[in-house]
Chains A and B, each alone.
Chain A
Amino acid sequence: QKEVEQNSGPLSVPEGAIASLNCTYSDRGSQSFFWYRQYSGKSPELIMFIYSNGDKEDGRFTAQLNKASQYVSLLIRDSQPSDSATYLCAVNSLKYGNKLVFGAGTILRVKS
């Protein structure tokens, strides 16, 4: 089992819809969770982080964390074609020290 798993996609949504990206992790001791957006040919950009169970909202983005289910998700409301990118989930725990463990990423395509 991979430490951080994401559906590779592509996930296709129409413009204006909600895109839901999911990530599961194996280490129950994981403490911090990150979402990165990576446009084709560019480096990853940190867009959200969450440390506590529940929801965290920032503009059109909402990160959701459920530690009991070892599940973290990213919702993008009112999806725009400019949101089309690969979204990487990353996890940190005491087991990893100051390293992040990354999922392989989910490709999101927003169609206008």
Chain B
Amino acid sequence: DGGITQSPKYLFRKEGQNVTLSCEQNLNHDAMYWYRQDPGQGLRLIYYSQIVNDFQKGDIAEGYSVSREKKESFPLTVTSAQKNPTAFYLCASSQPTIRGGYEQYFGPGTRLTVT
């Protein structure tokens, strides 16, 4: 079964703690992405990676860190420096198509609550 998995589905943390969200894909996609979605809001790009051992900041990278040691995995760490970490976190992956676009597919998401 090909797809993207994210774990855990729900995560609760105390303020001041770092937390790492998992994202794994078996679609053999080169590119992976992390988005944040707040209630009633659109998607905001946190970080993305085009290949292993390389990643770039998105629009809201402050307070977050990532690694890309394997093609299949792109974990996101939400650090204590992130001022408003409570949100729905979505991981996605994509591969270029013969038509020239990048069709992105999403994992099921992790809902993080920090109190």
Contact = CB atoms under 8 A, between A and B. Distances in A.
Interface in A22-53: 31-32, 34, 36, 42-46, 49, 51
Interface string B43-56: 10100101000000
A43 B101 contact: no
Nearest to B108: A43
A1 interface: no
B103 A46 contact: yes
A52 to B, nearest CB: 9
B16 interface: no
B2 interface: no
Interface in B19-76: 31, 33, 41-43, 45, 48, 50, 58
B90 A43 contact: yes
B109 interface: yes
Contact of A92 (B58, B101, B105, B107): B101
Contacts of B101: 31-32, 34, 49, 51, 92
A72 B50 CA distance: 27
Interface of B: 31, 33, 41-43, 45, 48, 50, 58, 90, 94, 96, 99-109
Given A34-B103, A92-B101, A104-B41, 20 more contacts: A34-B104, A36-B106, A43-B107, A44-B43, A44-B90, A46-B103, A46-B104, A46-B105, A49-B101, A49-B103, A88-B43, A98-B31, A98-B50, A98-B94, A99-B33, A99-B45, A99-B48, A99-B102, A104-B42, A105-B42
